[in-house]
């Protein structure tokens, strides 16, 4: 069986040369791409700047299919092709270049926003919270532009398409009201900032640290470790207590002494409590008073402020105060009152029993 010597207007020798050029160009471009990307990645790891990290990430994001398209164009240059095939190859090349540009812009934007979030997470968590929304909006704009340009190069009437999408968008919006409600609620959270990442919040009876603010849901990490997921729209309808905005913590606690405590000891107890509070750093004493005659003992109410929102700091301070009060009460001979009940039994004198003599 004899193979045809001419195929699509080119002889076998021309096709073999074109194939060799495609393979050689692809291997050469792939080798150069890997070499430059590896060198630049190694260099970026030694510096503290952001731009070289972004460039390295962009180079690593170059698609192998894009390199193959370039190699195919190089191989096609030695072939005698019809105008229709040439136009088709150029259209494919333009679309591939547009998609690759979209990938490059998306990767570069993600690298810069990720770096910004890492730097500002501790200093300005509200600004870092906006990174997710900005990343989504930038990707939406970039890929919308890529799609429109690609369709325009493919001969699609983009103007008529946009007009049709405007009408169809109304139907889609009506069918996806809940999703769009969560999306707009996400933008409201980002712009209004009722809470930001790492804030500790309470939503109704649920509490946890804000782990992630997404387009549809917000996720909290509870104290027991599990993840709590809330719809953004439902979350904004709830009453939220944000402990992340707390600058200082007001603490009220009560101590009870027994009713056997002497009057002189009762007068000294507020001073004992005050000295125990003022002995701790990062506290501000407010008051301590003999508050009431309670059901189980004499009640002393005290108020002070912890100059830190950290719950662990508050617990450490309260523990130190309790230990010092306990030690001073032992020295003063003051007893703590505990809930107790005393039962008094009254014994009545027994009545004499009369013995009737037998008749």
Query: Cα separation of 276 and 88, whole Å?
Result: 85
Q: Is the pLDDT of residue 174 over 80?
A: no
| Among the ranges given (28-42, 104-118, 295-309), the one the predictor scored with the smallest mean pLDDT | 104-118
Residues 126 and 55 in one domain: yes
Q: By C-alpha distance, which of 317, 257, 250, 247 is closest to 282?
A: 317
Round to whole Å and give the CA distance between 60 and 206.
43
Distance CA(328)–CA(275), nearest Å, equals: 10
Cα–Cα distance, 91 to 153 (Å, whole number): 6
Between helices 311-332 and 263-278, what is the axis angle to 10°?
Answer: 150
Within this chain, do residues 11 and 149 fall inside the same structural domain, yes or no?
yes
State mean pLDDT over 167-193.
Answer: 68
What pLDDT, on a 0 to 100 scale, did the predictor assign at position 6? 67
Same domain assignment for residues 235 and 263: no
With H, G, I as helix, E, B as strand and everything else as coil, classify residue 343.
coil
Question: Do residues 255 and 237 share a domain?
Answer: no
Inform me whether the pLDDT recorded for 321 exceeds 80.
Answer: yes
Looking at the structure, tell me whether residues 129 and 265 fall in a common domain: no
Q: Taking the model in full, what pTM does it have? A: 0.49
Same domain, 39 and 116: yes
Residue whose pair of structure tokens reads 């904004």 in the numeric block: 236
Spatial contact of 196 and 244, defined as CB atoms under 8 Å apart: yes
Tell me which residue of 125, 129, 132 sits closest to 109, measured CA to CA. Answer: 132
Average pLDDT in the chain: 81
Asked if residue 258 and residue 235 are part of one domain, the reply reads no
CATH of the domain at 271: 3.30.70.100
83-120 and 64-76 helices, crossing angle to 10°: 150
Residue 256 maps to a domain? yes
First to last CA, the chain: 152
Distance from C-alpha of 90 to C-alpha of 95, rounded to nearest angstrom: 9
The verdict on 254 and 235 lying in the same domain is no
- Is the domain of 31 the same as that of 108? yes
pLDDT tier, 127 (very low <50, low <70, confident <90, very high otherwise): low
Decide if pLDDT at 353 tops 50.
yes
Residue at token pair 């979209």: 102
**Of residues 85, 73, 68, the one with CA closest to residue 28:** 68
Report the alpha-carbon distance of residue 26 to residue 64 in Å, rounded.
9
Identify the pLDDT of residue 336. Answer: 94
Kindly state whether residue 189 falls inside one of the protein's structural domains: yes
pLDDT at 167: 53
Kindly indicate the confidence band of residue 267, based on its pLDDT and cuts at 50, 70 and 90.
very high
Q: How confident is the model at residue 132 (pLDDT cuts 50, 70, 90)?
A: low
Residue 22 sits in the same domain as residue 110: yes
Range of the domain at 288: 249-332
- The pLDDT of residue 326: 96
Lowest mean pLDDT among 18-32, 126-140, 213-227: 126-140
For the cut 60, the answer to whether the pLDDT of residue 27 exceeds it is: yes
The alpha carbon of residue 288 and the mean position of all alpha carbons in its chain are separated, in whole angstroms, by 41
171 CB-contact burial (10 Å; exposed 0-12 / middle 13-18 / buried 19+): exposed
Report the candidate in 232, 191, 196, 192 with the shortest Cα–Cα distance to residue 214: 232
**Does some domain include residue 281?**
yes
Q: Is residue 166 part of a domain?
A: no
- In this prediction, residues 87-103 reach a mean pLDDT of 86
pLDDT at 310: 83
Note whether 145 and 18 are same-domain residues: yes
Residue 69, number of CB atoms within 10 A of its CB: 21
Give the mean model confidence (pLDDT) for residues 181-199.
Answer: 81
pLDDT value, residue 75? 83
Read off the pLDDT band of 303 (50, 70, 90): very high
List phi, psi (to 5°) of 131: -60, -45
Q: Band the pLDDT of 359: cuts 50, 70, 90.
A: very low
Q: Is 54 exposed, middle or buried (0-12, 13-18, 19+ CB in 10 A)?
A: buried
The answer to whether residues 134 and 240 belong to one domain is no
Give the span between the Cα atoms of 26 and 23, in whole angstroms.
Answer: 5
Q: How many domains does the chain have?
A: 3
């Amino acid at each position: 069986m004899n193979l045809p010597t001419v195929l699509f207007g080119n002889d076998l020798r021309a096709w073999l040369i074109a194939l060799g050029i495609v393979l050689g160009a692809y291997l050469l471009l792939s080798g150069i791409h890997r070499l430059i990307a590896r060198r630049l990645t190694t260099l970026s790891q030694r510096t503290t700047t952001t731009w070289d990290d972004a460039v390295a990430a962009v180079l690593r994001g170059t698609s192998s299919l894009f390199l193959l398209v370039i190699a195919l164009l190089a191989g096609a240059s030695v072939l005698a092709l019809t105008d229709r095939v040439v136009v088709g190859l150029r259209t494919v090349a333009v679309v591939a270049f547009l998609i690759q540009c979209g990938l490059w812009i998306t990767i570069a934007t993600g690298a810069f926003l990720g770096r910004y979030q890492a730097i500002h997470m501790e200093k300005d968590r509200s600004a870092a919270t906006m990174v997710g929304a900005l990343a989504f909006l930038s990707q939406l704009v970039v890929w919308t532009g890529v799609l429109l340009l690609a369709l325009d190069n493919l001969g699609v009437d983009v103007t008529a398409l946009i007009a049709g999408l405007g009408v169809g968008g109304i139907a889609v919006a009506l069918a996806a009201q809940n999703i769009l409600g969560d999306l707009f609620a996400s933008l409201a959270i980002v712009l209004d900032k009722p809470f930001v990442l790492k804030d500790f919040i309470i939503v109704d009876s649920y509490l946890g640290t804000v782990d992630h603010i997404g387009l549809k849901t917000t996720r909290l990490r509870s104290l027991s470790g599990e993840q709590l997921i809330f719809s953004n729209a439902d979350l904004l309808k709830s009453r939220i207590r944000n402990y992340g905005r707390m600058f200082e913590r007001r603490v009220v606690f009560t101590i009870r002494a027994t009713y056997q405590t002497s009057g002189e000891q009762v007068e000294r107890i507020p001073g004992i409590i005050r000295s125990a509070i003022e002995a701790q750093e990062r506290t501000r004493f407010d008051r301590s008073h003999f508050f009431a005659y309670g059901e189980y003992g004499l009640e002393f109410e005290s108020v002070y402020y912890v100059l830190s929102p950290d719950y662990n700091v508050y617990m450490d301070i309260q523990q130190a105060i309790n230990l010092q009060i306990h030690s001073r009460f032992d020295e003063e001979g003051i007893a703590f009152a505990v809930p107790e009940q005393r039962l008094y039994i009254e014994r009545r004198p027994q009545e004499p029993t009369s013995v009737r003599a037998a008749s």
